[in-house]
Amino acid sequence: MNDNDMINSNSLQADRFDDFLRQQLRADYIDDNGFTAQLMAALPVQKTLNPWLEKTIIALPVALIAFLVLRHLPWRDLVQPVYAWFLLLDVSSLITLALAVFIALVVAPVAWLLNSDA
């Protein structure tokens, strides 16, 4: 049996299964004399968590993992070149850099928050 025969055989099996599923979806509903409704009514009501507790459950592990990852970074190797570049800036470049940081950290998030409320 070559590859084409195997592919055709697999597609025929898939077609048969698809036909079976279509037939099952078209089949009439089997009446269960209210069993499903009674079962759903007997299930306990799902308890909801306090929204702050939900956020805490997500935030604490994320913060812990982030702390562990950041703790192992080679901070000295990262900070020294940035500090050297910062010392070599002139005043106008420093003001431009401060403005860009201000926009990135303050103005952009505030604009996003105001836009998301609309």
**Where do the structural domains in the chain lie, given as residue ranges?**
3-87
23 alpha carbon, distance to own chain's centre: 36
pLDDT at 63: 95
- Select the more confidently predicted residue: 86 or 118: 86
pLDDT at 117: 63
Report, as an integer, the average pLDDT of 69-97. 88
Rg (alpha carbons) of the chain, rounded to whole number: 31
* pLDDT tens per residue across span 4-46: 555 556 667 778 888 888 888 887 777 788 898 899 999 998 8
Structure-token pair, residue 57: 């459950």
How far is the C-alpha of 106 from the C-alpha of 97, rounded, in Å? 14
Helix, strand, coil: what percent of the chain each, to 5? 80, 0, 20
User: DSSP secondary-structure letter at 45?
Assistant: P
pLDDT at 72: 92
